[in-house]
């Protein structure tokens, strides 16, 4: 009888111990969520994830294929194509990871601006307008080559000034709502924002196919949309502020794999 | 303005199948699918409707699948359907626009029997 009683006490203690362990694990998991890097893929709905998994279903690949046609197309003015200098598009693996980048003049530019500079100076062709289909097709093609590689951008003395500006903008409260980026994408990760889950705001899938506009959108366009939601006046695309913010955000998501062309809501 | 060549059409299926197997045929068309309801932000002019009206699938010349679409279908529409493989032959998909412009995509389906020989649509004796 004594032995039996002892045994029961031992059992309840053990159960308590496990209960405490499990609850503390759940607690830790919930509150350390903002510290781990989670791609926006895991916050989207299963039906959206299904579109991204299948390369045939994914409409972003229309842009990839059209980008390949543009890559090999010769310009009439100079009889040069992108291929004649850089080789095949598959050789550009890992190039997109270096952007946003500092030029010789000291400005910060992103990949789309670099395409326009290359067209203007080397090919003597007309530049594409921001958010135009041709520009995004080339941009998606280049980001697609480094799909699966990890985001890895280095902060050095050259771009530190822009990095600090981007960090300042990330924590700055803007608009009628008085919201800053970190209030949603750091503090309220995983909570509901109307019908959507708040993601961590990583840009590893961009330029990505947005179902709401049914077309590819660049990082700058998406941040503009985010600013409009907070009732703030957005900056212009390719502005110094957005490039700095893009630099900070790529640094923030270092270690995440590139998913371009991703599918988001 | 985007590209002067034709818009992208895609067709994908399992190339070699057995007799009686159900084959999933997947198609994707690049199209804006303008609903006719949207307005231009600055001028306020309504964009005219321009959608894909119908999709017709033919297997060896016979219609096996047909779909009539209206303005609710999303941009860059994806369509998948099943057919039963009986004999090898041509699979043709036809997309028809509001302007009655059509675009095609075709492919060859190879059907084999249990012995591994191809089942041809035309029978012949030697």
| A118: exposed, middle or buried (Cβ count in 10 Å: 0-12, 13-18, 19+) | middle
Cβ of residue A70 closer than 8 Å to a chain B Cβ: yes
Total domains present in chain B: 1
What is the distance between the alpha carbons of residues A82 and A79, in angstroms, rounded to a whole number? Answer: 10
Q: Which domain holds residue B35?
A: 2-112
pLDDT tier at A27 (50, 70, 90 boundaries)? low
pLDDT of A262 higher than 90: yes
Q: What is the pLDDT of residues B66-86, one digit of tens each?
A: 999 998 999 999 999 999 999
Q: Report the chain A residue with the minimal C-alpha distance to residue B78.
A: A57
B38 burial via Cβ count (<10 Å: 0-12, 13-18, 19+): exposed
For the entire predicted model, the pTM comes to: 0.84
Q: Check if A226 is active-site.
A: yes
Confidence of residue A110 (pLDDT cuts 50, 70, 90): very high
Task: Quote the pLDDT of residue A9.
Answer: 53
**pLDDT at residue A129, as a whole number:** 94
Answer yes or no: is B65 within a domain.
Answer: yes
Domain assignment of residue B10, yes or no: yes
Closest-approach residue (CA) in chain A for B75: A214
Report pLDDT digits (tens) over A185-240.
999 999 998 888 999 999 999 899 999 999 999 999 999 999 999 999 999 999 99
**What tens digit of pLDDT does each residue of A159-192 get?**
999 999 999 999 999 999 999 999 999 999 999 9
Instruction: Assess whether the region A39-56+155-264 and the region A61-145 belong to the same CATH fold.
Output: yes
CB A147 within 8 A of CB A205: no
CATH assignment at residue B83: 2.60.40.10
For residue B48, what are the CA distances in angstroms to B4, B23, B33, B57, B77? 21, 38, 11, 27, 19
**Which two three-digit tokens encode residue A133?**
């289909």
CATH superfamily of A61-145: Cytochrome c-like domain (1.10.760.10)
Distance from CA of B97 to the nearest CA of A (A): 19
What rounded mean pLDDT belongs to chain A?
88
Question: Nearest C-alpha of chain A: how many angstroms from B75?
Answer: 6
DSSP element (H, E) containing A18? helix A2-31
Q: Per-residue confidence at A29, pLDDT binned at 50, 70, 90?
A: low
Q: How far, in whole angstroms, is CA A65 from its chain's centroid? A: 21
Smallest CA–CA distance from B28 into chain A, residue: A57
Inter-chain contact A59–B28, Cβ cutoff 8 Å? Answer: yes
Interchain contact, B28 vs A133, CB within 8 Å: no
Give the CA dihedral A172, A175, A176, A178, nearest 10 degrees.
-10
* Interchain contact B120–A (C-beta under 8 A): no
Chain B CB contacts of A65 below 8 Å:
8
State whether A59 and B10 contact (CB < 8 Å): no
Give me the residue spans of the domains in chain A.
1-36, 39-56+155-264, 61-145
DSSP string covering B65-102 = EEEE--TTSPSS-EEEEEEE--S-EEEEEEEEETT--E
Following DSSP, what letter does each residue of A40-92 receive, concatenated?
GGGGS-HHHHHHHH-TTT-THHHHHHHHHHHHHPPPTTT---HHHHH-SGGGG
- Coil, helix or strand for A253? coil
Is residue B71 less than 8 Å (CB to CB) from chain A? no
The per-residue pLDDT for A4 is 53
Contacts of A2 (CB under 8 A, 6+ apart): none
Task: Pick the range with the lowest mean pLDDT from A17-31, A228-242, B83-97.
Answer: A17-31
**Sequence-separated (6 or more) residues with CB below 8 Å from residue B95:** B9, B29, B31, B52, B54, B55, B102, B103, B104
Kindly state whether residue B92 falls inside one of the protein's structural domains.
yes
Task: Out of B3, B33, B74, name the one closest to residue A69 (CB).
Answer: B3
Residue B121 lies in a domain: no
Nearest by CB to residue B28, choosing from A56, A69, A134, is: A56
- Tell me the average pLDDT across A131-154: 94
CATH superfamily placement of domain A39-56+155-264: Cytochrome c-like domain (1.10.760.10)
Give A33-67 pLDDT, tens digit per residue: 446 899 999 999 999 999 999 999 999 999 999 99
% of residues, chain A, pLDDT over 70: 87
CB crowding B89-118: b at 16 or more within 10 Å, else e: bebbbbbbeeeeeebebeeebebbeeeeee
Q: What's the rounded mean pLDDT across residues B31-59?
A: 93
Cross-chain CB nearest to B26 (options A56, A69, A214): A56
Residue B50: name the closest of B95, B18, B113 by CA. B95
What was the pLDDT predicted at A224?
Answer: 95
User: How big is the CA angle at A147 (ends A167 and A208), to the nearest 5 degrees?
Assistant: 65
Give me the total of CB pairs closer than 8 Å, taking one residue from chain A and one from chain B: 32
């Amino acid at each position: 009888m004594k032995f039996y009683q002892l045994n029961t006490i031992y059992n309840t203690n053990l159960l308590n111990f496990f209960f405490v362990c499990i609850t503390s694990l759940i607690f830790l998991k919930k509150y350390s969520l903002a510290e781990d890097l989670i791609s926006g893929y895991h916050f989207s709905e299963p039906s959206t994830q299904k579109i991204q998994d299948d390369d045939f279903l994914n409409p972003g690949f229309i842009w990839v294929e059209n980008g390949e046609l543009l890559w090999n197309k010769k310009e009439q003015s100079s009889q040069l194509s992108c291929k004649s200098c850089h080789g095949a598009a598959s050789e550009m693996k890992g190039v997109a990871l270096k952007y946003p980048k500092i030029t010789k003049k000291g400005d910060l530019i992103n990949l789309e601006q670099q395409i326009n500079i290359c067209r203007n100076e080397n090919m003597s062709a007309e530049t594409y307008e921001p958010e135009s289909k041709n520009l995004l097709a080339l941009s998606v093609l280049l980001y697609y080559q480094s799909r699966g590689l990890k985001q890895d951008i280095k902060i050095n003395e050259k771009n530190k000034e822009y990095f600090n500006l981007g960090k300042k903008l990330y924590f700055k409260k803007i608009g009628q709502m008085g919201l800053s980026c970190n209030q949603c994408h750091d503090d309220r990760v995983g909570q509901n924002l109307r019908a959507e889950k708040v993601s961590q705001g990583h840009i590893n899938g961009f330029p990505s196919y947005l179902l709401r506009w049914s077309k590819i959108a660049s990082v700058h366009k998406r941040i503009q949309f985010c600013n409009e939601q907070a009732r703030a006046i957005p900056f212009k695309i390719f502005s110094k502020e957005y490039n700095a913010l893009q630099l900070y955000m790529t640094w923030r998501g270092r270690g995440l794999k590139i998913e371009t062309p991703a599918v988001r809501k | 303005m985007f590209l002067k060549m034709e818009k992208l059409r895609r067709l994908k299926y399992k190339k070699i199948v057995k007799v009686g197997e159900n084959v999933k045929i997947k198609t994707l068309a690049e199209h804006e699918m303008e609903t006719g309801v949207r307005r231009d932000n600055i001028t306020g002019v309504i964009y005219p409707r321009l959608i894909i009206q119908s999709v017709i699938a033919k297997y060896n010349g016979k219609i096996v699948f047909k779909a009539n679409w209206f303005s609710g279908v999303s941009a860059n529409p994806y369509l998948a359907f099943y057919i039963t493989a009986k004999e090898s032959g041509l699979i043709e998909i036809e997309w028809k626009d509001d302007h009655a412009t059509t675009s095609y995509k075709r492919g060859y389906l190879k059907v084999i029997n249990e012995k591994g020989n191809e089942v041809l649509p035309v029978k012949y004796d030697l």
